[in-house]
Structure 1
Protein backbone atom coordinates (compact mmCIF):
# COMPACT_ATOMS: atom_id res chain seq x y z
CA UNK A 1 0.00 0.00 0.00
CA UNK A 2 1.45 3.24 -0.98
CA UNK A 3 0.94 6.69 0.69
CA UNK A 4 2.60 9.42 2.60
CA UNK A 5 2.71 9.07 6.36
CA UNK A 6 3.24 11.73 9.02
CA UNK A 7 6.21 13.90 8.48
CA UNK A 8 8.96 13.06 10.89
CA UNK A 9 10.68 16.03 12.46
CA UNK A 10 14.15 16.64 11.34
CA UNK A 11 17.15 16.37 13.53
CA UNK A 12 17.42 19.16 16.03
CA UNK A 13 13.84 20.40 15.55
CA UNK A 14 12.47 18.98 18.82
CA UNK A 15 12.75 20.85 22.11
CA UNK A 16 14.35 17.95 23.78
CA UNK A 17 16.78 17.71 20.89
CA UNK A 18 18.18 21.23 21.70
CA UNK A 19 21.72 21.08 22.99
CA UNK A 20 22.04 21.64 26.74
CA UNK A 21 23.94 24.78 27.81
CA UNK A 22 27.35 24.29 29.21
CA UNK A 23 27.26 24.23 33.03
CA UNK A 24 29.09 27.18 34.74
CA UNK A 25 32.57 26.43 35.76
CA UNK A 26 33.56 26.57 39.47
CA UNK A 27 35.38 29.84 38.82
CA UNK A 28 32.21 31.46 37.33
CA UNK A 29 30.15 30.28 40.26
CA UNK A 30 32.64 31.77 42.68
CA UNK A 31 32.61 35.07 40.84
CA UNK A 32 28.80 35.20 40.91
CA UNK A 33 28.69 34.64 44.63
CA UNK A 34 31.20 37.44 45.21
CA UNK A 35 29.20 39.80 42.97
CA UNK A 36 25.98 39.03 44.84
CA UNK A 37 27.64 39.54 48.18
CA UNK A 38 29.14 42.83 47.01
CA UNK A 39 25.75 44.07 45.74
CA UNK A 40 24.08 43.16 49.04
CA UNK A 41 26.64 44.96 51.19
CA UNK A 42 27.35 47.90 48.90
CA UNK A 43 24.33 50.03 49.95
CA UNK A 44 24.80 49.73 53.76
CA UNK A 45 28.50 50.52 53.37
CA UNK A 46 27.73 53.59 51.24
CA UNK A 47 25.05 54.76 53.71
CA UNK A 48 27.43 54.39 56.67
CA UNK A 49 30.19 56.24 54.82
CA UNK A 50 27.80 59.08 53.93
CA UNK A 51 26.60 59.40 57.54
CA UNK A 52 30.19 59.46 58.82
CA UNK A 53 31.07 62.18 56.32
CA UNK A 54 28.07 64.28 57.36
CA UNK A 55 28.90 63.90 61.04
CA UNK A 56 32.50 64.82 60.40
CA UNK A 57 31.58 67.91 58.42
CA UNK A 58 28.93 68.91 60.96
CA UNK A 59 31.34 68.52 63.86
CA UNK A 60 33.92 70.61 62.06
CA UNK A 61 31.32 73.27 61.36
CA UNK A 62 30.19 73.30 65.00
CA UNK A 63 33.79 73.49 66.22
CA UNK A 64 34.55 76.50 64.06
CA UNK A 65 31.31 78.33 64.95
CA UNK A 66 31.95 80.79 67.86
CA UNK A 67 30.02 80.03 71.06
CA UNK A 68 28.21 83.14 72.30
CA UNK A 69 27.27 83.27 75.98
CA UNK A 70 24.04 85.25 76.53
CA UNK A 71 24.57 88.31 78.67
CA UNK A 72 22.61 88.40 81.95
CA UNK A 73 19.67 90.81 82.13
CA UNK A 74 20.37 94.14 83.85
CA UNK A 75 19.67 94.19 87.57
CA UNK A 76 16.46 95.93 88.57
CA UNK A 77 16.68 98.90 90.96
CA UNK A 78 15.35 98.36 94.50
CA UNK A 79 11.76 99.13 95.39
CA UNK A 80 11.49 102.62 96.90
CA UNK A 81 10.36 101.27 100.29
CA UNK A 82 13.56 99.19 100.40
CA UNK A 83 15.85 102.14 99.74
CA UNK A 84 14.26 104.86 101.92
CA UNK A 85 14.50 105.38 105.67
CA UNK A 86 12.34 107.85 107.63
CA UNK A 87 13.60 108.77 111.12
CA UNK A 88 12.04 110.93 113.83
CA UNK A 89 14.39 113.74 114.86
CA UNK A 90 12.80 116.11 117.39
CA UNK A 91 9.99 118.52 118.13
CA UNK A 92 10.20 121.52 115.87
CA UNK A 93 8.63 124.85 115.06
CA UNK A 94 6.51 125.05 111.94
CA UNK A 95 7.31 127.82 109.44
CA UNK A 96 4.85 130.67 109.99
CA UNK A 97 3.65 129.33 113.34
CA UNK A 98 0.71 127.08 114.16
CA UNK A 99 -2.59 127.37 115.98
CA UNK A 100 -3.35 126.23 119.55
CA UNK A 101 -4.36 122.77 118.43
CA UNK A 102 -1.40 122.12 116.15
CA UNK A 103 2.11 120.89 116.86
CA UNK A 104 5.17 120.16 114.70
CA UNK A 105 8.10 117.75 114.65
CA UNK A 106 10.99 117.04 112.29
CA UNK A 107 11.80 113.81 110.45
CA UNK A 108 14.68 112.88 108.19
CA UNK A 109 14.00 111.21 104.82
CA UNK A 110 17.11 109.43 103.60
CA UNK A 111 17.63 107.50 100.34
CA UNK A 112 20.13 104.72 100.96
CA UNK A 113 20.68 103.41 97.41
CA UNK A 114 19.26 103.12 93.92
CA UNK A 115 17.72 105.85 91.78
CA UNK A 116 16.28 109.09 93.20
CA UNK A 117 13.05 108.74 95.19
CA UNK A 118 10.15 111.19 95.17
CA UNK A 119 7.84 111.52 98.18
CA UNK A 120 4.47 112.15 96.57
CA UNK A 121 2.30 112.14 99.72
CA UNK A 122 2.52 112.06 103.53
CA UNK A 123 -0.45 111.21 105.77
CA UNK A 124 -1.15 109.81 109.25
CA UNK A 125 -3.72 107.20 110.38
CA UNK A 126 -5.89 109.05 112.90
CA UNK A 127 -9.29 110.39 111.81
CA UNK A 128 -9.17 113.36 114.25
CA UNK A 129 -5.89 114.72 112.85
CA UNK A 130 -4.69 116.23 109.57
CA UNK A 131 -1.14 116.70 108.37
CA UNK A 132 0.91 119.25 106.43
CA UNK A 133 4.63 119.24 105.67
CA UNK A 134 7.38 121.69 104.81
CA UNK A 135 8.48 121.31 102.10
CA UNK A 136 5.18 120.15 100.68
CA UNK A 137 5.02 116.92 98.73
CA UNK A 138 6.06 116.03 96.14
CA UNK A 139 9.76 116.42 96.80
CA UNK A 140 12.71 114.42 95.49
CA UNK A 141 15.79 113.00 97.21
CA UNK A 142 18.78 111.37 95.52
CA UNK A 143 20.71 108.30 96.68
CA UNK A 144 23.24 108.96 99.44
CA UNK A 145 21.54 112.16 100.58
CA UNK A 146 18.85 113.10 103.08
CA UNK A 147 16.21 115.78 103.56
CA UNK A 148 14.82 117.32 106.76
CA UNK A 149 11.03 117.58 106.74
CA UNK A 150 8.94 119.49 109.28
CA UNK A 151 5.60 117.73 109.78
CA UNK A 152 2.71 119.58 111.43
CA UNK A 153 -0.33 117.78 112.86
CA UNK A 154 -3.59 119.69 113.23
CA UNK A 155 -6.26 118.44 115.64
CA UNK A 156 -9.58 118.57 113.83
CA UNK A 157 -11.68 116.49 116.24
CA UNK A 158 -10.50 115.64 119.75
CA UNK A 159 -13.17 112.95 120.09
CA UNK A 160 -11.49 110.99 117.28
CA UNK A 161 -7.91 111.75 118.30
CA UNK A 162 -6.06 109.07 120.32
CA UNK A 163 -5.69 109.76 124.05
CA UNK A 164 -2.53 107.68 124.19
CA UNK A 165 -0.68 107.03 120.93
CA UNK A 166 0.99 103.63 121.29
CA UNK A 167 2.84 103.04 118.01
CA UNK A 168 2.00 106.00 115.76
CA UNK A 169 3.34 105.97 112.22
CA UNK A 170 3.45 108.02 109.05
CA UNK A 171 2.04 106.79 105.74
CA UNK A 172 4.42 107.87 102.99
CA UNK A 173 3.88 107.31 99.26
CA UNK A 174 7.19 106.82 97.44
CA UNK A 175 8.06 106.68 93.75
CA UNK A 176 11.20 105.73 91.85
CA UNK A 177 11.92 104.31 88.38
CA UNK A 178 10.77 100.85 89.45
CA UNK A 179 7.50 101.33 91.34
CA UNK A 180 5.12 103.51 93.35
CA UNK A 181 4.53 102.29 96.91
CA UNK A 182 2.63 103.42 99.99
CA UNK A 183 4.65 102.47 103.05
CA UNK A 184 4.04 102.96 106.80
CA UNK A 185 7.03 104.12 108.84
CA UNK A 186 6.88 103.59 112.61
CA UNK A 187 8.79 106.49 114.17
CA UNK A 188 9.53 104.94 117.56
CA UNK A 189 8.98 105.56 121.27
CA UNK A 190 10.12 109.21 121.41
CA UNK A 191 7.66 110.23 118.71
CA UNK A 192 4.84 108.34 120.50
CA UNK A 193 5.60 110.17 123.76
CA UNK A 194 5.78 113.61 122.14
CA UNK A 195 2.56 113.00 120.18
CA UNK A 196 0.66 111.86 123.27
CA UNK A 197 1.85 114.89 125.25
CA UNK A 198 0.89 117.28 122.45
CA UNK A 199 -2.56 115.74 122.19
CA UNK A 200 -3.08 116.08 125.95
CA UNK A 201 -2.33 119.79 125.71
CA UNK A 202 -4.45 120.35 122.60
CA UNK A 203 -7.46 118.36 123.84
CA UNK A 204 -7.08 118.59 127.64
CA UNK A 205 -10.69 119.64 128.19
CA UNK A 206 -12.09 116.93 125.92
CA UNK A 207 -9.94 114.15 127.40
CA UNK A 208 -11.17 114.71 130.97
Structure 2
Protein backbone atom coordinates (compact mmCIF):
# COMPACT_ATOMS: atom_id res chain seq x y z
CA UNK A 1 0.00 0.00 0.00
CA UNK A 2 1.45 3.23 -0.93
CA UNK A 3 0.70 6.71 0.52
CA UNK A 4 1.30 10.25 -0.42
CA UNK A 5 2.85 12.51 2.23
CA UNK A 6 2.31 16.24 2.64
CA UNK A 7 3.53 18.13 -0.33
CA UNK A 8 6.89 19.82 0.10
CA UNK A 9 7.12 23.43 -0.94
CA UNK A 10 8.98 23.89 -4.08
CA UNK A 11 11.86 26.14 -4.64
CA UNK A 12 10.91 29.69 -4.22
CA UNK A 13 7.54 28.79 -2.76
CA UNK A 14 8.45 28.79 1.09
CA UNK A 15 6.42 31.33 3.16
CA UNK A 16 8.30 34.50 3.99
CA UNK A 17 9.51 34.78 7.57
CA UNK A 18 8.15 38.15 8.76
CA UNK A 19 9.91 38.11 12.12
CA UNK A 20 12.52 40.80 12.51
CA UNK A 21 15.68 40.22 14.36
CA UNK A 22 15.57 41.45 17.97
CA UNK A 23 17.49 44.67 18.22
CA UNK A 24 18.38 46.85 21.23
CA UNK A 25 15.46 47.80 23.62
CA UNK A 26 14.07 51.28 22.93
CA UNK A 27 15.06 53.96 25.45
CA UNK A 28 11.47 54.39 26.62
CA UNK A 29 11.33 50.81 27.90
CA UNK A 30 14.35 50.90 30.17
CA UNK A 31 13.86 50.23 33.87
CA UNK A 32 14.65 53.83 34.81
CA UNK A 33 12.04 55.13 32.36
CA UNK A 34 9.42 52.71 33.69
CA UNK A 35 10.16 53.78 37.25
CA UNK A 36 9.81 57.45 36.30
CA UNK A 37 6.48 56.80 34.57
CA UNK A 38 5.26 54.92 37.63
CA UNK A 39 6.22 57.79 39.90
CA UNK A 40 4.40 60.29 37.69
CA UNK A 41 1.35 58.03 37.57
CA UNK A 42 1.38 57.66 41.37
CA UNK A 43 1.53 61.44 41.91
CA UNK A 44 -1.33 61.95 39.50
CA UNK A 45 -3.38 59.26 41.23
CA UNK A 46 -2.73 60.79 44.67
CA UNK A 47 -3.72 64.25 43.41
CA UNK A 48 -6.97 62.88 41.97
CA UNK A 49 -7.73 61.03 45.20
CA UNK A 50 -7.17 64.21 47.24
CA UNK A 51 -9.42 66.25 44.98
CA UNK A 52 -12.09 63.55 45.15
CA UNK A 53 -11.95 63.57 48.95
CA UNK A 54 -12.49 67.33 48.95
CA UNK A 55 -15.53 67.17 46.69
CA UNK A 56 -18.82 67.85 48.45
CA UNK A 57 -22.08 66.11 47.83
CA UNK A 58 -22.99 68.68 45.20
CA UNK A 59 -19.77 68.26 43.31
CA UNK A 60 -18.25 71.50 44.62
CA UNK A 61 -14.66 71.60 45.66
CA UNK A 62 -14.39 73.19 49.06
CA UNK A 63 -11.26 75.14 49.80
CA UNK A 64 -10.35 75.66 53.43
CA UNK A 65 -9.48 79.25 54.21
CA UNK A 66 -8.24 80.79 57.45
CA UNK A 67 -11.28 81.62 59.55
CA UNK A 68 -11.77 85.17 60.76
CA UNK A 69 -12.28 85.55 64.52
CA UNK A 70 -15.99 85.74 65.38
CA UNK A 71 -17.32 89.25 66.00
CA UNK A 72 -17.42 90.30 69.61
CA UNK A 73 -20.97 89.93 70.91
CA UNK A 74 -22.73 93.16 71.74
CA UNK A 75 -22.86 93.93 75.42
CA UNK A 76 -26.45 93.53 76.63
CA UNK A 77 -28.02 96.71 77.85
CA UNK A 78 -28.83 96.63 81.55
CA UNK A 79 -32.51 96.27 82.26
CA UNK A 80 -34.20 99.38 83.63
CA UNK A 81 -35.40 98.65 87.19
CA UNK A 82 -38.92 99.27 88.40
CA UNK A 83 -39.02 102.63 90.19
CA UNK A 84 -40.34 101.04 93.39
CA UNK A 85 -37.17 98.91 93.50
CA UNK A 86 -34.83 101.89 93.68
CA UNK A 87 -36.83 104.58 95.50
CA UNK A 88 -37.03 105.02 99.27
CA UNK A 89 -38.90 107.53 101.38
CA UNK A 90 -38.15 108.20 105.05
CA UNK A 91 -39.69 110.49 107.65
CA UNK A 92 -37.37 113.29 108.83
CA UNK A 93 -39.17 115.52 111.34
CA UNK A 94 -42.14 117.79 111.84
CA UNK A 95 -42.03 121.27 110.33
CA UNK A 96 -44.00 124.42 111.04
CA UNK A 97 -46.81 124.79 108.53
CA UNK A 98 -46.50 127.54 105.91
CA UNK A 99 -47.66 131.00 106.92
CA UNK A 100 -50.49 130.92 104.39
CA UNK A 101 -51.68 127.43 105.43
CA UNK A 102 -55.38 127.17 106.42
CA UNK A 103 -56.36 126.39 110.02
CA UNK A 104 -55.92 122.85 111.38
CA UNK A 105 -52.86 122.27 109.18
CA UNK A 106 -49.62 120.57 110.13
CA UNK A 107 -46.43 119.86 108.18
CA UNK A 108 -43.51 117.42 108.21
CA UNK A 109 -40.50 116.63 106.02
CA UNK A 110 -39.66 113.40 104.20
CA UNK A 111 -36.58 112.43 102.22
CA UNK A 112 -37.04 110.70 98.85
CA UNK A 113 -33.92 109.01 97.43
CA UNK A 114 -33.19 107.13 94.21
CA UNK A 115 -30.50 104.44 94.43
CA UNK A 116 -29.83 103.64 90.75
CA UNK A 117 -31.23 103.55 87.23
CA UNK A 118 -32.67 106.43 85.25
CA UNK A 119 -34.23 109.46 86.97
CA UNK A 120 -37.51 108.85 88.77
CA UNK A 121 -40.28 111.43 88.68
CA UNK A 122 -42.84 111.76 91.47
CA UNK A 123 -46.09 112.69 89.79
CA UNK A 124 -48.41 112.54 92.81
CA UNK A 125 -48.44 112.14 96.60
CA UNK A 126 -51.66 111.18 98.41
CA UNK A 127 -52.79 109.66 101.72
CA UNK A 128 -55.64 107.22 102.39
CA UNK A 129 -57.82 109.18 104.85
CA UNK A 130 -60.93 111.00 103.60
CA UNK A 131 -60.76 113.57 106.44
CA UNK A 132 -57.34 114.90 105.41
CA UNK A 133 -56.12 116.97 102.46
CA UNK A 134 -52.48 117.02 101.35
CA UNK A 135 -50.08 119.32 99.48
CA UNK A 136 -46.34 119.13 98.89
CA UNK A 137 -43.48 121.58 98.49
CA UNK A 138 -42.21 121.46 95.84
CA UNK A 139 -45.46 120.61 94.09
CA UNK A 140 -45.49 117.43 92.03
CA UNK A 141 -44.21 116.46 89.56
CA UNK A 142 -40.49 116.59 90.28
CA UNK A 143 -37.63 114.36 89.04
CA UNK A 144 -34.85 112.86 91.15
CA UNK A 145 -31.71 111.41 89.59
CA UNK A 146 -29.91 108.22 90.54
CA UNK A 147 -27.63 108.55 93.55
CA UNK A 148 -29.39 111.67 94.83
CA UNK A 149 -32.13 112.57 97.29
CA UNK A 150 -34.71 115.30 97.63
CA UNK A 151 -36.32 116.72 100.76
CA UNK A 152 -40.05 117.29 100.49
CA UNK A 153 -42.31 119.16 102.87
CA UNK A 154 -45.77 117.61 103.23
CA UNK A 155 -48.59 119.73 104.62
CA UNK A 156 -51.86 118.16 105.71
CA UNK A 157 -55.10 119.77 106.79
CA UNK A 158 -57.80 118.17 108.88
CA UNK A 159 -61.10 118.69 107.00
CA UNK A 160 -63.39 116.19 108.76
CA UNK A 161 -62.62 115.10 112.29
CA UNK A 162 -64.98 112.13 112.02
CA UNK A 163 -62.95 110.67 109.14
CA UNK A 164 -59.39 110.94 110.44
CA UNK A 165 -57.35 108.38 112.40
CA UNK A 166 -57.18 109.38 116.07
CA UNK A 167 -54.69 106.66 116.83
CA UNK A 168 -53.06 105.65 113.55
CA UNK A 169 -50.92 102.54 113.85
CA UNK A 170 -49.09 102.34 110.50
CA UNK A 171 -50.08 105.41 108.47
CA UNK A 172 -48.58 105.64 105.00
CA UNK A 173 -48.29 107.83 101.93
CA UNK A 174 -49.14 106.72 98.40
CA UNK A 175 -46.55 108.00 95.93
CA UNK A 176 -46.91 107.70 92.16
CA UNK A 177 -43.48 107.04 90.60
CA UNK A 178 -42.49 107.11 86.94
CA UNK A 179 -39.31 106.21 85.08
CA UNK A 180 -38.54 105.11 81.52
CA UNK A 181 -39.85 101.62 82.21
CA UNK A 182 -43.20 101.98 83.99
CA UNK A 183 -45.49 104.04 86.25
CA UNK A 184 -46.08 102.62 89.73
CA UNK A 185 -47.97 103.59 92.86
CA UNK A 186 -45.93 102.73 95.93
CA UNK A 187 -47.11 102.92 99.54
CA UNK A 188 -44.46 104.13 101.99
CA UNK A 189 -44.99 103.43 105.71
CA UNK A 190 -43.17 106.23 107.50
CA UNK A 191 -42.84 104.59 110.92
CA UNK A 192 -43.74 105.33 114.54
CA UNK A 193 -42.62 108.98 114.63
CA UNK A 194 -44.92 109.87 111.78
CA UNK A 195 -47.78 107.93 113.41
CA UNK A 196 -47.35 109.87 116.67
CA UNK A 197 -47.11 113.17 114.83
CA UNK A 198 -50.28 112.46 112.87
CA UNK A 199 -52.25 111.42 115.95
CA UNK A 200 -51.12 114.50 117.88
CA UNK A 201 -51.97 116.83 115.00
CA UNK A 202 -55.48 115.33 114.71
CA UNK A 203 -56.02 115.67 118.44
CA UNK A 204 -54.94 119.33 118.39
CA UNK A 205 -57.06 120.14 115.35
CA UNK A 206 -60.22 118.43 116.56
CA UNK A 207 -59.92 119.16 120.33
CA UNK A 208 -62.96 118.02 122.22
CA UNK A 209 -65.04 117.44 119.11
CA UNK A 210 -67.04 114.29 118.86
CA UNK A 211 -64.98 111.59 117.35
TM-score by length of 1: 0.69
Label 1:57 to 1:85 Cα distance change in 2 as closer, same or farther (>3 A): farther
Residues 181 and 69 of structure 1: is their aligned pair in 2 closer, same or farther, counting only changes over 3 Å?
A: same
| Aligned residues between the structures | 162
**1:23-62 alignment, distance < 5 Å:** 52-54=54-56, 60=64
Mark the CA change 1:54 to 1:184 in structure 2 (over 3 Å): closer, same or farther: same
Q: How far does residue 163 in structure 1 lie from its aligned partner after superposition?
A: 1.6
1:49-198 equivalence runs, <5 A: 52-54=54-56, 60=64, 64=67, 66-198=69-201
CA spacing shift, 1:88–1:54, aligned 2, 3 Å: same
Distance 2:166 2:90 in 1: 23
Structure with greater helix share of residues = 1
Choose 88-97 or 164-173, whichever is displaced more. 88-97
Runs of 4+ in 1 over 6 A off after TM superposition: none
| Aligned equivalents of 1:77, 1:51: Cα separation in 2 | 55
SS class of match (2:64):
helix
Cα pair distance change 1:190/1:65, threshold 3 Å: same
User: Is the Cα–Cα contact under 8 Å of residues 200 and 207 in structure 1 kept in the other structure?
Assistant: no
- Shift, 1:60, TM fit: 2.6
What residue in structure 2 maps to residue 42 of structure 1?
none
Shift of 1:94: 2.8
State the TM-score, normalized to the length of structure 2.
Answer: 0.68
RMSD: 2.6
Name which of structure 1's ranges 154-163 and 96-105 shifts more when overlaid on structure 2: 96-105
State the alpha-carbon separation in 2 of the partners of residues 100 and 133 from structure 1. 17
Gaps of 5+ in 2: 1-47
Q: Is the 8 A contact 1:111 1:145 kept in 2?
A: yes
